Amino acid sequence: MRIMSRRDFVKVTGTGLALTTIPGFMQKTLAGMAGGSQPHELYFQRFGVDPETIRKVMAEALAHGGDYCDIFFQNTLSNSIRVEDNIVNSASTEVELGVGIRVLKGDQTGYSFTEDLSLNSMKAAARTAANIASGSKRVPPTELKAIDLTNHYQTNLSYEDVGVQNVVSMLKSVNDAIFQQDSRVVKAGLRYSDSENYILIANSLGEFATDYQPMIRLISFCTAEQNGSRESNYFDYAARDDFNFLTPERLERMPREVVARTLKLFEAQPSPAGELPVVLKAGGAGILLHEAIGHGMEADFNRIGTSIYSEKLNKKVAADFVNIVDNGTNPHIRGTINVDDEGIPSQETFLVEDGILRTYLHDRISAKHYGLEPTGNGRRQSFKHNPMPRMRNTYMLNGPHTFDEIVSNVKYGIIADQFTNGQVNIGPGDFTFYVKSGALIENGKVTAPIKDVNIIGNGPKVLEEVTMVANDLELSEGGWTCGKNGQMVPVSQGMPSCLVSSITVGGRG
Amino acid sequence: MDIIKKGSAPDKTQLAHWAQKYALEHGADNTSIVISRNRSINVDFRDGQIDKLKESTQNSLWIEIFAGGRYSTHSTNDLRQESLKKFISDAITMTKFLGEDPYQALPDPALYKGRPTMDLELYDANYTKVTPEDRVARARELHDLIQGRDERLISISSGFSDSHYENTHLKSNGFEGNYESSSFSCGASVSLRGENDKKPEGWRYYGARHLNDLPAPQQIADEAFQRALDSMGQQKVKSGKMPLLLENSAAGGLFWRVLYPFTANAIQQKQSFLEGMQGKRIGSEHLTLIDDPVIVRGLGSRYYDGDGIAAKKLVLLEDGILKNYYVDVYYGRKLELKPTTGGASNVTFKTGRRSGAEMEADLDRGILVTGFIGGNANSTTGDFSLGVSGWLIENGQRVQPVSEMNISGNFVELFGSLVETGNDPYTYSSLRSPSLLFDGVSFAGA
């Protein structure tokens, strides 16, 4: 199903259904919402503020001598629809609106937020945040200048204009197709969700930025039975894109993929245990980078010296052909942002270049500490949270080898192709990632499938063990979410196929 | 009707009744509404100064709509009456586009009856007495108790936070509930300079409903520092099957993964390895698990669950035999099972005679697990594979700090290998496990 003209579409289906609602003063801004290239004025209207109001709030925020303040307005409209037991058994909508006010004094943070966007309420929140400082007042900027941004997720259709019944019919056809794949399928489930995030951020440097951040996600679940045993698996898509992201090709692939992933588990043998060579298949395997190096490179840990990477900048950490980036500009990828939540335009940042550790991921606090420009990694879960250095899309660039060369190089080891979750301890550098499915490699050939095995290693050690990198980089289209200090942000990751020569595989021996 | 006066918090009960009436008049057949307000304040202290002060109040209205056999849920933080009118109308309109689901309906009101009448003491009257200066002083004290102890110290972070939560729940077939609760938490984390650029870390955070139930600052500081020292020189040891002694405060990292398979949701969706196991053995005779929602000051204590079902104890496992599942109203209808309660409150264990320390002293060779890192479990098959850290124990002595290892197996096997439970349930969590000793667990390391 491809939807061409959004306005006509609304008329045809007769919905015009606001799946979501917004406060009265914003309603006039609704027309022409899709696309992410709305004029700035619409954002000011959406939040019922003007530069003068913002200046008044900043005056309160800086009343005790803060070095810097920023004001983060956010309005998020989310919908989800769930299919279970062949029917749409639930749907939900969520509206969030509010403003977070942050005051910095050196590297100290004062933070407060309010869900009430009246001037009095914002001023009260600003006064709370201002208390981190205790000096004489500073003067807010006299004017606000817009920061120029490039749009990395242009869309042509707002989710609202798709119409619930069109989403429902798409879900029903995917659901039916899952059951049609194989008679062993006994249960299927689908969760569709979309979210539109509108932000306006202004700071005491006299700058402001606006952004429209769409996100669509579709997850499929499947359980199958064979000879009295049962297996479940899932497959999902996520993107900063409109409904047309769910192309016929992607929608046809989903049922095939989720069923194949589930049935494969019936053939799985117990994984071997202990230190083994592990081949990571291109794509979601970038979870290794996220945990093994990404978090450790977040500059908040490094500026206080608690990361295992704190002394390794400009040192050789991996083979020459290893290049690792954290990039916020990949079109439509889940971790992409036009601007970070501190008003810094997104960019591509090299963590490792030709095997040498290059740049930490900075927010404003750490960039100031190091005397560097921020890298656009200052992100937050919502207006209820202060920004921190966070990853965007983290991946390794292509290397000199091929997938076949890598596999044929392994005498006895495993190949891992589906990943679910990972974790890291920043200081010691120990990290894990969970392999939902993979296979044994014996004498250079992929043999029996394996499943459900955790892999654990130490970040810098594992980087040294990356001995082959293929030329088949894939960015994951899955719905990855990264948690840090209780805040969740959408990210993605990618990897060319690669060989880790030795790492601990948690099989049963 | 002017429910929300400017500058004051909305009267939640009045607002809930108004929203219910409005929804029923605009096409909903039934509703369930939760209005909540949460005020929280956090102080983070680091290396001699306040790192972050955060203060916030949030409101939300959550409405479940039942209309024409269809069901949807909606939430908003914009509680202005005019906004809510449009929000609720839109929600009802949208619901009518969904499929009919004969199982979606409000619970039988008989389930609401018999709510506990005792005071669970979820709210601490001391809450309002905590001043901004107190919070900073408490966070600073933890920091100062650790500072200067060791020349390898890199960084000390400590924190104190408290919150006040108010909740009103109204269902259109006669359920109404109101409660408020407080919570306090504090703790510290410590980073040390280790070998090979490693920065061993240790932390200890505690949470309680009442301020005076938090451990003494000296204890918290000692534990956080000791845990950082413990992780100095951690190494993996050789793979093999060994006894696993699981520290009481770490057990939650294992047991929360088993809660979903205990639900009617998982069973009905064929994602539970516990399906069909009622009355059967899934653990050794040492394993008794009881869901107990009526523990005074318990972190998971409640008077009723999300369906409005009056809280009562539920035996999940008795001497290793599976007795009951968590059955909520919706999946109970699908499975034709009588609802028990939708999910975990406090999970308690039958305790044994000895402390974790006594069990450790008696261990010939095994691994004391003090923390989990990553890993996952397959609820459909019961297989798990989890990263662990702790100590290698030989002849009752801690001989080598251990990390970068995994344990793998199946929950039924693991529970069957439980040979002893301690007398030391951990009360700073809703999973109140004592120390647990398992025999013959597969560890993967070097």
Residues A219 and A357 in one domain: no
pLDDT digits (tens, 9 = 90+) for B283-308: 999 999 999 999 999 999 999 999 99
Are B78 and A23 in contact (CB < 8 Å)? yes
The backbone torsions φ and ψ at residue B23, rounded to the nearest 5 degrees and listed phi first, read: -65, -40
What residues 44-63 of chain B have any CB closer than 8 A to a CB of chain A? 46-47, 49-59
Residues of B in contact with A168 (CB under 8 A): 97-99
Query: A276 CA to chain B: closest CA distance, Å?
Result: 9
Specify the long-range contacts of residues B388-391, CB closer than 8 Å, at least 24 apart: B388/B443, B389/A430, B389/B231, B389/B234, B390/B247, B390/B250, B391/B230, B391/B367
Are B387 and A454 in contact (CB < 8 Å)? yes
Residues A422 and A480 in one domain: yes
Closest by alpha carbon to B173, among B329, B333, B359, B1?
A: B329
Contact B209, B357 (CB under 8 A): no
Q: Rounded to an integer, what distance in angstroms lies between the CA atom of residue B186 and that of residue B217?
A: 9
Identity of the residue in A19, A23, A89 whose CB atom sits nearest the CB atom of B101: A89
The backbone torsions φ and ψ at residue B9, rounded to the nearest 5 degrees and listed phi first, read: -70, 145
Q: Which of the listed CATH numbers 3.40.1160.10, 3.30.470.20, 3.30.2290.10, 2.40.50.140 matches domain B12-112?
A: 3.30.2290.10
B165 lies within 8 A of chain A by CB: no
Question: Would you state the pLDDT for residue A509?
Answer: 63
Nearest Cα residue in chain B from A84: B269
Q: Rounded to an integer, what distance in angstroms lies between the CA atom of residue A446 and that of residue A441?
A: 4
Contact B106, B309 (CB under 8 A): no
pLDDT digits (tens, 9 = 90+) for B320-342: 999 999 999 999 999 999 999 99
Are A275 and B446 in contact (CB < 8 Å)? yes
pLDDT digits (tens, 9 = 90+) for B72-91: 999 999 998 999 999 999 99
B40 lies within 8 A of chain A by CB: no
Contact A72, A99 (CB under 8 A): yes
Are B194 and A232 in contact (CB < 8 Å)? no
Query: Taking chain A (509 residues) in consecutive chunks of 10 residues, what is each chunk's mean pLDDT?
Result: 32 27 31 56 95 97 97 97 94 96 96 95 96 92 95 94 92 98 98 97 97 98 96 98 97 98 95 95 96 96 94 96 98 98 97 97 96 96 97 98 98 96 95 96 96 95 97 96 96 98 88
| Domain end residue (candidates: A263, A295, A328) | A263
| Domain end residue (candidates: A238, A263, A288) | A263
Identity of the residue in B58, B241, B387 whose CB atom sits nearest the CB atom of A432: B387
Residues A156 and A235 in one domain: yes
CB atoms within 10 A of CB B104: 21
Q: What is the mean pLDDT of residues B119-141?
A: 96
CATH architecture of the domain with residue range B125-165+175-230: 2-Layer Sandwich (3.30)
Identity of the residue in B53, B234, B386 whose CB atom sits nearest the CB atom of A454: B386
Q: What is the mean pLDDT of residues B273-286?
A: 98
Query: B50 CA to chain A: closest CA distance, Å?
Result: 7
A344 in any annotated domain: yes
Query: A195 CA to chain B: closest CA distance, Å?
Result: 14
Question: Would you state the pLDDT for residue A508?
Answer: 79
Q: Rounded to an integer, what distance in angstroms lies between the CA atom of residue A461 and that of residue A468?
A: 15
Residues A205 and A342 in one domain: no
Q: What is the mean pLDDT of residues B9-27?
A: 92
Residues A225 and A363 in one domain: no
Residues A243 and A336 in one domain: no
- Confidence class of residue B34 from pLDDT cuts 50, 70 and 90? very high
Residues A404 and A347 in one domain: yes
Are B155 and A429 in contact (CB < 8 Å)? no
Are A187 and B269 in contact (CB < 8 Å)? yes
Q: Rounded to an integer, what distance in angstroms lies between the CA atom of residue B358 and that of residue B396?
A: 9
Q: Rounded to an integer, what distance in angstroms lies between the CA atom of residue A88 and that of residue B101?
A: 8
Query: A153 CA to chain B: closest CA distance, Å?
Result: 26
Nearest Cα residue in chain A from B232: A428
User: For residue A384, which amino acid is it?
Assistant: K
* Residue A292 DSSP class: I
Are B49 and A108 in contact (CB < 8 Å)? yes
Question: Would you state the pLDDT for residue B7?
Answer: 40
Are A452 and B385 in contact (CB < 8 Å)? yes
Q: Rounded to an integer, what distance in angstroms lies between the CA atom of residue A247 and that of residue A475?
A: 18
Q: DSSP string of A426-487?
A: TTT-EEEEEEEEEEEEETTEEEEEEEEEEEEEEHHHHHHTEEEEBS--EE--S--EEEETTE
State the number of CA atoms in the 13 A half-sphere of A467 facing the CB.
13
| DSSP 3-state percent helix, strand, coil across chain A (nearest 5) | 25, 40, 35
Identity of the residue in A91, A291, A430 whose CB atom sits nearest the CB atom of B403: A430
Residues A243 and A295 in one domain: no
Write the Ramachandran bin of B284: left for phi over 0, alpha for psi from -120 to 50, otherwise beta: beta
Are B375 and A428 in contact (CB < 8 Å)? no
Residues A248 and A298 in one domain: no
Let me know if A41 is exposed, middle or buried by CB neighbors in 10 A (0-12, 13-18, 19+): exposed
**Is there a common fold for B12-112 and B125-165+175-230?**
yes
Are B334 and A426 in contact (CB < 8 Å)? no
Domain spans of chain B?
Answer: 12-112, 125-165+175-230, 240-444
- Confidence class of residue B434 from pLDDT cuts 50, 70 and 90? very high
Residues A223 and A307 in one domain: no
Are B381 and A91 in contact (CB < 8 Å)? no
A1 in any annotated domain: no
Are B54 and A20 in contact (CB < 8 Å)? no
Beta bridge partners of A412: A442
Question: Would you state the pLDDT for residue A38?
Answer: 77
The total number of structural domains in chain A stands at 2
Nearest Cα residue in chain A from B374: A423
Question: Would you state the pLDDT for residue A18?
Answer: 28
Which tokens is A136 given?
């004489």
| Domain end residue (candidates: A231, A263, A295) | A263
Q: Rounded to an integer, what distance in angstroms lies between the CA atom of residue A88 and that of residue B72?
A: 10
Question: C-alpha angle A289/A294/A299, rounded to 5°?
Answer: 170
CA-CA distances (angstroms) from residue A33 to A7, A37, A403, B194? 11, 9, 44, 54
State the number of CA atoms in the 13 A half-sphere of B26 facing the CB.
19
Beta bridge partners of B167: B36, B179
Which tokens is A155 given?
């869309």
Residues A239 and A348 in one domain: no
CB atoms within 10 A of CB A169: 12
Closest by alpha carbon to A363, among A448, A421, A453, A302?
A: A302
Specify the long-range contacts of residues A476-479, CB closer than 8 Å, at least 24 apart: A476/A283, A476/A284, A476/A286, A477/A237, A477/A238, A477/A239, A477/A333, A477/A334, A478/A236, A478/A237, A478/A238, A478/A284, A478/A334, A479/A217, A479/A219, A479/A236, A479/A237, A479/A238, A479/A334
Contact A99, A125 (CB under 8 A): yes
Identity of the residue in A93, A452, A505 whose CB atom sits nearest the CB atom of B74: A93
At a CB cut-off of 8 Å and minimum separation 6, what does A496 contact? A282, A396, A397, A398, A399, A469, A470, A471, A472, A473, A474
A124 in any annotated domain: yes
A268 in any annotated domain: no
ipTM field: 0.93
Q: Which domain holds residue A414?
A: 273-506
The reported pTM is 0.93
Residues of A in contact with B51 (CB under 8 A): 107-109
For residue A240, the domain's CATH number is: 3.30.2290.10
Q: What is the mean pLDDT of residues B245-257?
A: 96
Residues of A in contact with B381 (CB under 8 A): 229-231, 452
Identity of the residue in A91, A453, A460 whose CB atom sits nearest the CB atom of B94: A91
Contact A138, A65 (CB under 8 A): yes
Q: DSSP string of A103-146?
A: EEETTEEEEEEES--SHHHHHHHHHHHHTT--S---PPPS--EE
Question: Would you state the pLDDT for residue B10?
Answer: 59
Question: Would you state the pLDDT for residue B45?
Answer: 96
3-class secondary-structure state, position B199: coil
Are A229 and B381 in contact (CB < 8 Å)? yes
Residues of B in contact with A129 (CB under 8 A): 53
The counts of H helices and E strands in chain A are: 11, 23
Nearest Cα residue in chain A from B93: A17
B385 lies within 8 A of chain A by CB: yes
Residues A259 and A277 in one domain: no
* Residue A294 DSSP class: I
Question: Would you state the pLDDT for residue A37?
Answer: 60
